[in-house]
Amino acid sequence: MDEDEDDADWDTSSGSSAPASTGGGCSDGSRRVVLHFDLDCFYAQVEMVRNPALRDVPLGVQQKYIVVTCNYVAREYGVTKLMSVTAAKEKCPQLVLVKGEDLTHYRETSYKVTELLMSYCPLVERLGFDENFMDITEIVNGKIREAPVTDYCFSGHVYNCQAAGVRASEYPRLAVGSQIAAELRGALHSRLGLTSCAGIASSKLLAKLVSGAHKPNQQTTLLPKYTGDIIGSLTGLRQIPGIGYRTGEKLKALGLLAVRDLQVFHLAALAKEFGEANAQRIQNLAHGIDESPVTPSGPPQSLSDEDSFKEISTVTETVKKLEDLLTSLLERMHKDGRQPSTFRLTIRRFSSTDRWFSRESRQCPIPIHIGQKVISGSSEALPQLVSIGIKLFHKLIDTSAPFHLTLMNVCFSNLLSRRDTKGSIKSFFTAKSPSRQDKKPEPQGF
């Protein structure tokens, strides 16, 4: 239900396709230490921080007719994420619902979390709104070099083990990683009031897989020798992070459903469908191997806003919707401080068969004088951009015939910073302006 988020995938394509060792332990100094953080019931937590009276009641966050998430009190009643409001009310009649269509607070909190993690170590990669990867290999190595200790211990759970029974000195780097994860989760809680889960492992894939092993507000470390176990616990290919909807569909068409199917499938046949490097990467994922680096996210490369609705079928309604969307987008763009140079309009026509994938877009350059008005916050920017939007709309839709839209998205891209324009840019993440978190992450995925 996010306007631009995909909660499942990240790009694992930039790593080497060479298989990494999945065995071994303490002596492997080259093994990375990667953390994955996932905030608990994120939208619901943001609402609980804003209004503490909601903390102890069953709480759901509603977008349209769906409860996109709910707090853990509501989960005890059987309410689940992405349940219909009707079904959720049946499970828990006293469920308190708050509207979650305005993402402003979620977005702001999301960037505060990334910013806090980045203040500890710059190697932070965002995934969706409520997840971050962090590569702390260097910090861990430094700690071990500077102050060797003998009495290592794990903080939190160790996957498949009783943490107290594990000889942490055999895994000093993961043990130190778990201490750092605990420290950072503590900071998120004390500074932002947010609880989270964390996974500690040697890759993004494994850290993400293990972070949800104990929920909420807990953390889990994966020892290399349990890689096979955690991969074996997955009940389908789509549960492998990095295998999104489209890849999953292609694999299904090849007859592959279970993780084991993919592990043993002939690589050459897989390469015919995906290309050699991609095929190797996908098969590696099924073996728990992921060499993709943590890539610092930096500022978003575009800002967009969208709404879905039952029906828009007149030009007047279209103009009104464009005005609404552009008003909020312009405010965010103004706070961002960069100058947009491309405007894209996306619509979805009603289709009874192809509900999710029938989006169509047109884009055009934004004249410099209008881009400058966006930065300066001039009220003239809105009507001028609405007029550009309507021109794009007419390229998409023949209004002399009946039409039926169910979604509209407006997007500014090619954002020019101070290096490129004379205007000023407020530094992302570090500016003192209260607007500094008011950005939207780019969609993640393949």
Q: From the CB of 105, what's the least distance to ligand DCP, in Å? A: 12
- Composition of the chain by helix, strand, coil, percent to 5: 40, 20, 40
Q: Does 306 bind ligand DCP (CB under 6 A)?
A: no
CA 15 – CA 174 distance, rounded (Å): 21
Q: Name the residue nearer to ligand DCP (CB basis): 113 or 415.
A: 113
DSSP string, 127-155: ETTTEEEEE-HHHHHHHHHHS--S----S
Q: Does 37 bind ligand DCP (CB under 6 A)?
A: no
Q: Output DSSP code: residue 18.
A: S
Q: Name the residue nearer to ligand DCP (CB basis): 42 or 343.
A: 42
Q: Does 130 bind ligand DCP (CB under 6 A)?
A: yes
**364, 414 contact by CB (below 8 A):** no
Is 360 among the catalytic positions? no
Q: From the CB of 185, what's the least distance to Mg ion, in Å? A: 13
Figure out which of the listed residues 216, 244, 423, 443 binds ligand DCP, where binding follows CB under 6 A.
Answer: 216
Q: From the CB of 337, what's the least distance to ligand DCP, in Å? A: 27
Figure out which of the listed residues 7, 28, 261, 331 binds ligand DCP, where binding follows CB under 6 A.
Answer: 7
DSSP string, 45-109: HHHHHH-GGGTTS-EEEEETTEEEEE-HHHHHTT--TTEEHHHHHHH-TT-EEEE----HHHHHH
Question: 68 contacts which partner out of ligand DCP, Mg ion, none, CB within 5 to 8 A by kind?
Answer: ligand DCP
Q: Does 135 bind ligand DCP (CB under 6 A)?
A: no
Q: Name the residue nearer to Mg ion (CB basis): 76 or 420.
A: 76
CA 299 – CA 335 distance, rounded (Å): 13
Residue type, 283: Q
Question: 216 contacts which partner out of Mg ion, ligand DCP, none, CB within 5 to 8 A by kind?
Answer: ligand DCP
Q: From the CB of 42, what's the least distance to Mg ion, in Å? A: 5
Strand partners, 346: 361, 409
Q: Does 38 bind ligand DCP (CB under 6 A)?
A: yes
Q: Does 85 bind ligand DCP (CB under 6 A)?
A: no
Among candidate residues 131, 291, 306, 442, the one labeled active-site is: 131
Question: Distances from the Cα of 141 to the Cαs of 112, 156, 170, 386, in angstroms?
Answer: 27, 21, 15, 54
Contact residues toward ligand DCP (CB under 6 A) are: 1-2, 7, 38-43, 68-69, 81-82, 129-130, 215-216
